[in-house]
Structure 1
């Protein structure tokens, strides 16, 4: 497919974090962009403000009349149901319809492409890498699965020769990519509703890794059963983070590469998992040829990603952090970071489970991870693309928890419950619409300070 022949791009599900990055990209390069989403959000508001036409009703009459078959690309999200009227309109008329991952593959195939894979850490690692490359003057575009604070966008740069993409394992999407340099941060079981077994997930990562023929361009952690360049925090590895210190809430550390030691790097994101994310980005940047001073400057100026250990309130008396964690491993990482930064303080976790299938598949692990906090408030499961499953409820999950200092509340009761806690550190966690509640939670807490 030749994107130069495409004048119009229509998105079904334009408000998704990955879809909206593509929408911004096509708008930036001069295409006419329009689309549908189920409901308005902060992301769709930003897209509309940028000049993109969006509607929120599944109605073929709202499709722009000049989006003809010969000059229009239709991009869909996997979450769209088969009965969607607009999707069927385009199908019946023979329009070119692609999934987001396929389009990323088309965009990046003629570029020098960095791909960041893994069940956790993709967004942070991609953001750090994209920021390092952009700040170093590389002609880069980075497609990010979160809003990067430095740019207030999920798109970094507008380069045409180098790309950074998150290699998403969902729906085996990452197999559409052709990366020149890649990393795999983790291969934990997830998306079992798609894969069925953890072995099937591992097989897809092995297939993705095979796309990098030169294994000196594939970066992995030591736990992974793959051939590649190992990165590790403290442990022996080709790229190793060592001499790690914490000063005023930020890390200072050295990196040992195969040829040298880079000293006193400053990095503001808390948690050992974020150190590993930064190390992966450093390893890929060094391999591409970025200077140490450029890496150091970019790392020090990186502000993080919205909803990734994102500080909402930070005072001497109270801290409120919001995080996108939706898997037990990610919740454990949030807990580790909070305890490291705020030892001996009482921590309240507010968690909204995401997907009935994920809650079912990892219920015991969720129960163990959540029980590590001092107090827990749970919300009902956010269904996303799924229908309810019999017996799979937040109450069922709560009954598995060993920490009984836990309550289940509705969204309407949430702020009252939070304000009733004596915790000095509050963390909201989840990938559903809990993120939409953050501004009102922040406002209510601030009014009590």
Structure 2
């Protein structure tokens, strides 16, 4: 299948973060792109403003005529689209070529030296960091990121001259096994997506297969200490990285934190890169920066370009996203939706604000994940000073009997915990003091951000009167 055969691309789930980057890629290549999404969001509105046609009704009568011709229309869908979707059924039962997003990304990736970042945590931030570092360098880059990069207000970067493509390698639905990267990073392989893999052992096997698919002439970078054997992978250059283990090949030295800046030296097998600085986004992002910086160096960015790029990296929306800071009150929004991610988030916040009271609002994501990791979620949330638990966000799942936020709430051993609806959360925080506020989760908890900011500013006005 050649993309040049098709003038039109129809995308089912176009409002997804990965699909929207792909949509932007095809539009840049001169294709006519339209799609369907069930929810009108800030991202779909942005896409419409960029010229994309988006349908919000699962109705074949809504399909524009030019996209109803099989000979010129390629159809791409995301795993979030269910099999009973009317549009998917329509396209599948006719003469249209229909592919999953992962298959299309895999074909595009073969045209570049692909840098693929895999792992249950940290892959979006590392992908964004590598993309920014290379974009700011003479190397340049093409990038499809699983989050909105705040430097560009987009999840897509293009270059007419660069041989590199940076992308996330998503383990969900085994999508990353469609990639054969030149460089690869594996950040973590904690048990997750057990609805797909069944067991942690099967998940590790998939990560091992992904490592085997890295080009022999390329590079594999894994976090030190992973329960993953990559010694048999054909790639010759294998390195490990860590934020706190000096036996790793790459690690930070002379690490210093302040409320305004983080600084460190980067120790690598090729020497030390001194006096790197970055915005104060916690220990977990230092670890992400260690991996991203080394990959950018190996891709050809020079030391001065690296220093400048890292110091100007503004982060990714919803990844340790500082939404408010007047020194007295801090508000950070984060996508963490796995127990280990929550532990890392809270640890990072405490590394910057060690004496501050931390209030966390958590929206669990998926009934199956809540059931599988209920005890682990409880232990990670107990690291907060105040815990506010919201209802589970179901995403693609149907309810599981007995699995709800009350089920998780009972497992949390904490004297300062609350099970609230959204409106109750705002009302409680309006009348109670907090210093550092976190919104945590991968669902639609980000829609609380504006009401929370309004409430914070209202409290500030009242205090100043």
Map residues 186-225 of structure 1 onto 2, 5 A cutoff: 186-214=188-216, 217-224=219-226, 225=228
- 2:253 corresponds in structure 1 to 242
Deviations 1:342-387 (Å, cap 9, x if unpaired)? 1121111000000000000110010011111111111100000001
Q: d(CA) in 2 for partners of 1:428 and 1:315?
A: 18
Count of residue correspondences: 449
2:158 maps to which residue? 157
- Aligned partner of 1:255 in structure 2 is 266
Contact conserved, 2:358 with 2:437, CA < 8 A, in 1? yes
Task: Return the alpha-carbon distance in structure 2 between the equivalents of residues 42 and 214 of structure 1.
Answer: 41
Off by >4 Å, runs of 4+ in structure 1: none
In structure 2, the partner of 1:331 is 342
Aligned ranges for residues 87-166 of structure 1 at < 5 Å?
A: 87-159=88-160, 161-166=163-168
TM-score of the pair, normalised by structure 2: 0.94
**2:356 pairs with one of 337, 342, 345:** 345
Q: 1:429 to 1:215 in 2, by over 3 A?
A: farther
3-state SS in 1 of match to 2:71: helix
In 2, Cα distance between equivalents of 1:200 and 1:49: 42
- Cα gap change, 1:255/1:215 in structure 2, threshold over 3 Å: closer, same or farther? farther
CA distance in 2, matches of 1:213, 1:74: 29
Equivalent-residue separation in structure 2 for 1:288 and 1:154 (angstroms): 20
**In the alignment, which residue of structure 1 is the partner of 2:178?**
176
Shift of 1:448: 1.2
Matches of 2:352 and 2:163, distance apart in 1: 40
Q: Partners of 1:216 and 1:143 in 2: how far apart?
A: 20
CA contact under 8 A between 1:269 and 1:304: conserved in structure 2? no
Map of 1:16 onto structure 2? 16
Q: Summarize deviations over 1:159-194 as a string: whole Å, max 9, x none.
A: 463200100000000010110011101110000111
How does 1:256-275 map onto structure 2 within 5 Å? Answer: 256-275=267-286
Q: Cα RMSD (Å) of the superposition?
A: 1.3
What's the counterpart of residue 230 of structure 1?
Answer: 240
1:296 and 2:279 matched: no
Q: How far did residue 421 of structure 1 move?
A: 2.7
Aligned to 1:79: 80
The answer on whether the counterparts of 1:249 and 1:341 sit within 8 Å (CA) in structure 2 is: no
- 1: CA distance between counterparts of 2:415 and 2:191? 27
Matching residue of 1:423: 434
Pairing 1:270-419 to 2, within 5 Å after superposition: 270-419=281-430
Instruction: Identify unmatched segments of 5+ residues in structure 2.
Output: 232-237, 461-465
Task: Indicate if the aligned counterparts of 2:139 and 2:301 stay in contact, CA closer than 8 A.
Answer: no
User: What's the offset of the Cα at 1:139?
Assistant: 4.1
Task: Give 1:246 deviation, angstroms.
Answer: 1.5
Report Cα offsets for 1:88-128 as digits up to 9, x if no partner.
11011121111111111111101111000111001000000
Aligned to 1:448: 459
Name 2:187's counterpart in structure 1.
185
Cα contact 2:182–2:215 (8 A) shared by 1: no
